[in-house]
Amino acid sequence: MKNRPRTFKLRILRPADFVILAIFLAVIAVFLVFILRYSRPSNEKRLVIQSENSDGKTTEWIYSMNKNERAEIPGILGTSIIVIENGKAFFEDSPCENKICVFSHKISHSGEWIACLPNGVIIRVEGKNSDFRQNGNTDSNDEIDPSTDYDAWAE
C-alpha cells in the first residue's frame, strides 16, 4: 500500500449553511444585548422608592445612588421630595403632619430604609456593601446633630 498524502477538499457553503450561521449569530447577538443591558455591577447601590396612591395602587422607581438626583414622588397626601446627594438619600420634604421622615438620618447602606407612612412612600437602599455591618460592625459615618430639638417637632 502506498501512503498518499491526504488532501482536503474545500467545501462550498450552501444556502442552508448561511441560514444556520445567521441564526447562530442572531442568538449570540440577542444574548449579548441582554447581558449588557440588564446586568449591572454587583457593587452598585440603588435607591428603590415605593409609593402608594389614593387608589391603593403601588408604583416603584429605581435610581442609582452614584448620581445626584431629586425626585418628586406622588403619594396619598401629596408629593414627597426625595434627594440623592453624594451617595446618600433622604426625604427633603413630605406633606405628612409630623415630618418624621424628613428628620430621619440620610441612608446610604444596603438594607437601610426610611418611610413616610401617612403619605405611603418608602425608600430603601439595595445593592452590595463592602464596608458596612460586616462582622458585627454597626458603626455608621452618619452623625446626628445634637443641637436638633427633636421634641419640638413631635408636639
Q: What is the pLDDT of residues 16-34, one digit of tens each?
A: 888 898 999 999 999 888 8
> So what's the architecture of 46-129 in CATH?
Sandwich (2.60)
CA distance 153 to 143: 19
With H, G, I as helix, E, B as strand and everything else as coil, classify residue 139.
coil
Residue 55 has pLDDT above 60, yes or no: yes
Mean pLDDT of 115-120: 93
CA distance 49 to 124: 7
Q: For residue 57, how many C-alpha atoms fall within 13 Å in the half-sphere facing its CB?
A: 3
Burial degree of 95 (CB within 10 A; 0-12, 13-18, 19+)? middle
47 against 37, higher pLDDT: 47
- Edge-first strand listing for the sheet containing 121-126: 58-64, 46-52, 121-126, 113-116
CA distance 131 to 126: 14
Domain ranges of the chain: 46-129
Mean pLDDT of 149-154: 50
pTM of the entire structure? Answer: 0.58
Under the banding of pLDDT at 50, 70 and 90, the label for residue 140 is very low
Mean pLDDT of 64-90: 94
Phi, psi of 66 (to 5 degrees): -85, -5
Cell (9 digits) for 153: 417637632
Under the banding of pLDDT at 50, 70 and 90, the label for residue 138 is very low
